[in-house]
């Protein structure tokens, strides 16, 4: 028992010595770091450009290559922020640049502004490369273009959309340089697929915006698709045939006088559809010599009717002078 106690005491003393050793080692490391960081160093760092106060009527064209390699002299503590953060230099497009033709020009002569406003007194600015930055710009153009729906919508049998698909907004604004905006005439939606639809549609659809469009801005990223869906039925109605463009000196006899027109409509609209809502015509001027038939065409039908078709394609006629 006594031997065990002695052994524990010796182990405890040994552990304390080890802990004290590591504590002194840690403090020595901290002192070394502070000593290193308190010294001055010279280094060159690449700074990206942070554009400030660009005039609203202008847009800077692709300038991904616009960087400044800046050589600085300062103590180690100041260097830390440049290694932990991606360094940027702010260039004010009101104060720091000159406008020459279609280019904003920043020159090395403005460097004193950087040293006094962005680095502080403890940082010495030794060199900047390149000595000139050129930012090409274009005049912003705003153009409204239509949205085109890309959709494959399959309905449950007996159901269909009433009227039409509504897109909100049905057009969006494209903002950017004239050379790019002029090439955009419409914006399509991303593909939308729906199956077994039997109730009203309300969907947010993503727009298929141009790839690599950093110089373009769009008023919307999405649109809303809505549509009223109802149960549909098929109907057939007799409609009189009208022959147009018959010369005054000719009289025609034709058969049949009426034809059956088949259509597809919602149950709610079925009873409101009448024969007078349709117009079936033949054009006599299209007949060739010795022709005894005329082709039928539907020239009018109600907006509430879909898949309208005539159950026969032609009528027979004879000319009686």
- Least confident stretch, 3-7, 68-72, 80-84, 258-262: 3-7
List C-alpha distances in Å: 174 to 141, 217, 227: 8, 6, 26
**ω into residue 292 within 30 of 0, thus cis?**
no
Give pLDDT, residue 131.
83
| Confidence check: pLDDT of 6 > 70 | no
Give pLDDT, residue 96.
84
| Confidence check: pLDDT of 269 > 80 | yes
| Confidence check: pLDDT of 304 > 60 | yes
Please give the Cα distance from 233 to 301 (Å, whole number): 16
In the structure, what pLDDT confidence band is assigned to residue 2 with cuts at 50, 70 and 90?
low
Give pLDDT, residue 227.
96
Instruction: Give tens-digit pLDDT for 38-63.
Output: 566 677 777 888 888 888 778 787 66
When pLDDT is averaged across residues 245-257 and rounded to a whole number, the result is: 88
User: String of b and e for 20-38 (b: at least 16 CB within 10 Å)?
Assistant: eeeeeeeeeeeeeeeeeee
In the structure, what pLDDT confidence band is assigned to residue 296 with cuts at 50, 70 and 90?
very high
CA proximity to 58, closest of 221, 218, 220, 215: 215
| Confidence check: pLDDT of 188 > 90 | yes
Give pLDDT, residue 281.
95
**pTM given for the model:** 0.58
What is the dihedral sign for C-alpha 260, 261, 267, 270? Answer: negative
Give pLDDT, residue 29.
52
Q: Which residue has the tokens 């919307």?
A: 220
- Least confident stretch, 178-182, 184-188, 210-214, 239-243: 210-214
Give pLDDT, residue 220.
94
Instruction: Give tens-digit pLDDT for 86-130.
Output: 777 888 888 888 888 888 888 877 665 555 556 666 667 777 788
Beta-bridge partners for 237: 261
List C-alpha distances in Å: 97 to 62, 69, 89, 129: 17, 18, 14, 16
């Amino acid at each position: 028992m006594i031997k065990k106690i002695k052994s524990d005491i010796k182990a405890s003393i040994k552990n304390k010595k080890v802990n004290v050793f590591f504590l002194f080692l840690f403090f020595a490391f901290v002192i070394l770091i502070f000593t290193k960081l308190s010294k001055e160093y010279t280094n060159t760092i690449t700074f990206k450009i942070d554009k400030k106060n660009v005039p609203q009527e202008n847009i800077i064209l692709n300038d991904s290559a616009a960087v400044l390699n800046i050589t600085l002299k300062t103590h180690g503590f100041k260097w830390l922020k440049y290694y932990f953060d991606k360094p940027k230099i702010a260039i004010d497009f009101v104060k720091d640049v000159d406008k020459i033709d279609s280019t904003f020009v920043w020159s090395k002569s403005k460097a004193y502004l950087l040293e006094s406003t962005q680095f502080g007194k403890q940082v010495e600015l030794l060199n900047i490369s390149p000595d000139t930055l050129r930012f090409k710009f274009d005049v912003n153009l705003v153009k409204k273009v239509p949205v085109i729906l890309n959709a494959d919508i399959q309905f449950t049998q007996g159901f269909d959309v009433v009227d039409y698909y509504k897109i909100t907004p049905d057009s969006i604004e494209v903002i950017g340089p004239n050379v790019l905006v002029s090439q955009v005439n419409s914006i399509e939606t991303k593909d939308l697929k729906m199956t077994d639809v039997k109730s009203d549609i309300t969907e947010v659809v993503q727009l298929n915006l141009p790839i690599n469009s950093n110089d373009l801005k769009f008023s919307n990223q999405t649109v809303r698709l809505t549509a009223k869906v109802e149960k549909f039925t098929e109907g057939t109605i007799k409609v009189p045939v009208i022959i147009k463009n018959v010369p005054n000196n000719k009289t025609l006899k034709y058969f049949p006088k009426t034809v059956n027109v088949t259509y597809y409509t919602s149950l709610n609209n079925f009873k409101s559809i009448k024969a007078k809502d349709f117009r079936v015509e033949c054009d006599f001027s299209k007949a060739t010599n010795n022709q005894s038939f005329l082709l039928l065409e539907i020239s009018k039908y109600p907006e509430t009717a879909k898949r309208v078709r005539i159950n026969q394609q032609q009528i027979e006629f004879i000319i009686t002078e």
